[in-house]
Structure 1
Amino acid sequence: MTQRLEGRTALVTGSTSNIGRAIVVAFAREGAHVVVSGRDEARGAEVVGQIRADGGKADFVRADLDGSPAASRALAAGASALLGGHVDVLVNNAGIYPPSTTPTTDEETFDRVFGVNVKAPFFLTQALVPAMIGAGGGVVVNLGSWITRLGVPSGAVYSTSKGAMETLTRAWASEFGPQGIRVNAISPGVIASAGWDDTTRGMADVMMRGTPAGRSGQPDAIAAAAVYLASDDAEFVHGIVLDVDGGRTGVAVVAV
């Protein structure tokens, strides 16, 4: 097995389930000492236990990333303390997607989505990047979404928040790249979740109908992309948004 992240330290937000969990498990398998973070301590302990049982290095830090600078700084401090003083790789994965349309979105929901999806990763990155620079380099990987560039009739606030993260990716690549920090993003497509019911699964299949993949993706596909962007294989990659969406946004969709 390759060890592309051997000797690295990594923090993955929202890593107690689904995409975040797949990323943190993949990082550990590649040799990284990882910090699992999320609100649910029981699920966090389960993920840490899985990684350690596989021979990896993992710890858990509880975090409720509500968008306040204090919450982001607390996670940065907790993770850094467990990882020997600084984080080599930060994955800004945590996000929320409350179902709503524009007419039904109230101010509280709007602020909560932008707090979790934009403010929290902004202030977490602000807290961690200086130590990365001081250590001689680091990597930030953000999570965007396919619906930032292909409009859908619901989730306007969520898609806008993820569009902000893709824009921050390019801005941070310009700001921090000359100081040794690589910043890139992944734009997942329709990715299966263990919690889907039959109705949700059917809707996902409809959204992927006619695409090259012809089906929903699995969290492991996003994890593989994150490993690539975090590793030296991507040392010449700066400021990109890597679409991992089965061709949903880049290829003409033909309903069949």
Structure 2
Amino acid sequence: MTDKNDELASHQDEARRELHGQVALITGGTSGIGLEAARLFIREGATVIISGRSAERGAKALAHLPDGPGSVRFIAADLADLDSVRVLAEQAGPVDILVNNASAFPVASTVEQSITGFQQMFDTNVRGTYFLTASLAPAMLGQGRGSIINVSTMAASMGVPGASGYSATKAALNSFTRTWAAEFSPSGVRVNSIAPGPTITEGVLVEWGDGVAELGKNLPLGRTAQPVEIAEVILFLASPRSSYVTGATLAVDGGATAI
């Protein structure tokens, strides 16, 4: 009897997890904010797919993610390549949650911005995100539910030196969010953005170095964010707790856009 009671309690606990039975795709899921979001989604019972360009980084990420209660797998994909985007959508299959987190952000002032870096940002952040969403949205619309979360930035709504091209791509994501919410929400699919402030991730440190810490010191909260702090807001938007939120861009920026 004890074993049966334990099994029943385990099933009940699993069913209470916020993302139980949900399939989630997180692009750029092998490090930083995406990896922390995957960790939280697994904790909440989701079947998680993380994608990234490097199979080596994908294997490393899988090794550092928990075994359950949800599950996780990796699909290699480069969002700057439309053939790769198509294959990612095919291999992922129908999803309930899409987190558009993959991003390219070579830092440069406007007068020093290379054409190659500019093109990479728009191909990855805008075009790849757009057509991946266009490929996966029909299944969500068909089932009458889903959540799409676009990871933007505070720089999309304020001037940050060195981020001209990057901020423009993220402003495009905020625009997508509003339009997709208008198009998809009548069928039960919610679309939202989050706009993080300076966050300590491996990629950000490579591009910005000590500059990211300096940005944090000038915020009302006086510090940079940890990736998990941003991931918690992604989880909120993916979960039933945000059931009446769509078309919004949530600032997660330590107060940057409030001053």
**TM-score higher than 0.5 here?**
yes
Q: Could you tell me which residue of structure 1 aligns to residue 127 of structure 2?
A: 119
- 1:55 CA displacement: 4.1
Question: Is the contact between residue 67 and residue 114 of structure 1 (CA under 8 Å) also seen in structure 2?
Answer: no
**Structure 1 residues 36 and 56: CA distance shift in structure 2, 3 A:** same
- Cα separation, 1, equivalents of 2:133 and 2:120: 19
Contact 1:67 1:119 in 2 (8 A): no
Query: Where does the alignment leave 5 or more consecutive residues of structure 2 unmatched?
Result: 1-12
Q: Contact (CA 8 Å) 1:51, 1:57: kept in 2 or not?
A: no
Deviation at 1:53, TM superposition (A): 3.0
* Higher helix proportion (structure 1 or 2): 2
Distance 1:141 1:161 in 2: 15
Give the residue type in structure 2 aligned to 1:77: E
1:63 aligns with 77
TM-score by length of 2: 0.89
- Pair 1:45-2:67 in alignment: no
Equivalent runs, 1:1-256 vs 2, <5 Å: 3-68=17-82, 70-80=83-93, 86-194=94-202, 196=205, 200-201=209-210, 203-250=211-258, 252=259
Q: Percent identity?
A: 39
8 Å contact 1:65–1:116 — kept in the other structure? yes
Cα distance in 2, alignment partners of residues 37 and 62 from structure 1: 5
| TM-score, length-scaled by structure 1 | 0.90
Structure 1 gaps of 5+ residues are: 81-85
How many residue pairs match? The answer is 243
Measure how far apart 1:239 and its partner are. 0.5
CA-to-aligned-CA distance 1:61-113 (integer Å, 9 cap, x gap) = 11011152x22221111111xxxxx1000000000111212122233322211
Larger radius of gyration: 2
CA distance in 2 between partners of 1:46 and 1:119 (Å): 28
Q: CA deviation at 1:47?
A: 2.2
Letter in 1 for 2:100: N
Looking at structure 2, the residues matched to 184 and 144 of structure 1 have their Cα atoms a distance apart, in angstroms, of 10
